Amino acid sequence: MAFESVKETTESRIREVALGTGELKVGGENVLAFHLFEGEMPNRPLIAVEVYDYYPEEWSDAVKEPLADVLSDPVAWAKKAQDEWGADLIALRLKSTDPKGMDRSLEEAVETVKAVVDAVNIPVMIYGSEDVEKDGEVMKAVAAACEGKNVIIGPALEDNYKTIGAAAIGYNHTVAAKTPIDVNLAKQLNILLSNLGVDTEKILIDPTTGALGYGLEYTYSVMERLKIAALRQDDSMTQMPLIADVGTEVWKAKEAKTPASEEPLWGDEKKRGVIWEIVTATALLMAGADIVIMRHPDAIKAVRKVIDNMLS
């Protein structure tokens, strides 16, 4: 008799969330990541490519170099991501609105957002600077300006979920809800958002990402536990697709960004950060990430291949 592997199947599913106005959807799986022998993943995990709304001077040369031609132009950057790197969506970061930094105005922010959203035909997620107050205002303005486009706005935090949630409800957008690496807190914020009136099919969970060497294992276990709660315990308030915020976190790591001149023993600086990003993204895809936000084109290409292979 042939060997039959044990299958754990479930009636529960991750909610399928429609992104943008086209066909693209995320989530919908009824299995842990890539357990295709037990169920299905009707939508493939997506790669969102980071675009910053200002010239990121502080970035390491290893990642600035391949992006050099677009770094000072978010629109060109987004188009290149779409056309050349095969981005599934754009993750536009309005870092320049940070009141502790450049403190750009709402109008400027909205202008950038509009330009990017109009320039590409893939969905766009828009993240603020994670200043609780300012993000509330920025997202209100962004939500109004993008009416009808179903963008993802966020991150909605415990302290501004009302404003950002209300903006999403008002203009029919999707919300990314971000909590500090904890299963319970993630669930709590989803309850708060849905009590506010946000459709549970328009919420994504950003459980906070730690890069390799900087808490990856925590993010891994929180993501995995969220998926287990969603699928095995049928916990409705954790059945939202997961976002892994990889690019930004990886390129903060000193192992990724330190030039070879400072640490000759660490090896080729052009490969090091890329590998760091690939490893982090791949690990989190295995943990159950439905969207990975990434930065370096080489890493993006490699991770796309990983996803292809896992699904075939």
Q: Which of 76, 17, 85 lies closest to 51, judged by CA?
A: 76
- The minimum distance between CB 194 and other proteins, in angstroms, equals 5
Binding footprint of other proteins on the chain (CB under 8 A): 158, 182-185, 187-188, 191-192, 194-195, 197-201, 235-237
- The minimum distance between CB 160 and other proteins, in angstroms, equals 12
CA gap 26, 154 in Å, rounded: 17
- The minimum distance between CB 232 and other proteins, in angstroms, equals 14
What are the φ and ψ backbone dihedral angles of 95, each rounded to 5 degrees? -60, -30
Closer to other proteins by Cβ: residue 192 or 228: 192
- The minimum distance between CB 210 and other proteins, in angstroms, equals 18
- The minimum distance between CB 204 and other proteins, in angstroms, equals 15
Closer to other proteins by Cβ: residue 14 or 117: 14
Closer to other proteins by Cβ: residue 188 or 258: 188
CA gap 302, 140 in Å, rounded: 36
Q: Which of 116, 111, 114 lies closest to 75, judged by CA?
A: 116
Do 185 and 179 touch, CB atoms closer than 8 A? yes
Closer to other proteins by Cβ: residue 61 or 201: 201
**Helix ranges restricted to H, the chain:** 61-67, 74-83, 106-119, 132-145, 161-171, 183-196, 216-232, 246-250, 254-257, 269-287, 297-311
Closer to other proteins by Cβ: residue 230 or 256: 230
